[in-house]
Amino acid sequence: MAILDKEREFGFLLLIMLTSIIVLSSIWFVIEIRQCASVYSWNKKYVIYSKQKEEMDRSIESEYDLDQAQN
C-alpha cells in the first residue's frame, strides 16, 4: 500500500493489474472446480456402465455356455 500512495500513476496501474489477476484467477479456480465435478460425475457413470456390461457378458456366457478361454 505504501507503493500505491508514493507512486500515484504507477500505483493505480499496479492496483488495477493486481485486481484483474485476482479476479481472473478466481474465475479460473471456479471453472476448474466445476470441471473436476463434471469429470467425477462422468467417471461415476462410466464405472456403473462398465459393471453392467460385465454382468451382461457373464449372463450371456452362462446362457450360451461360452467359455472366456475360447476368445
Which of the four pLDDT bands, split at 50, 70 and 90, describes residue 13?
A: confident
Q: Is 61 exposed, middle or buried (0-12, 13-18, 19+ CB in 10 A)?
A: middle
| Residue for grid cell 454382468 | 55
The C-alpha cell at 54 is 460385465
What pLDDT shows up at residue 4?
61
16-54 confidence digits (pLDDT tens): 999 999 999 999 999 999 999 999 999 999 999 999 999
pTM of the model: 0.57
Residues 6+ apart with CB under 8 A from 4: 11, 12, 14, 15
Q: Which three cell numbers stand for residue 51?
A: 459393471
CB 4 within 8 Å of CB 14? yes
Identify the pLDDT of residue 68.
56
Q: Which amino acid is at 12?
A: F
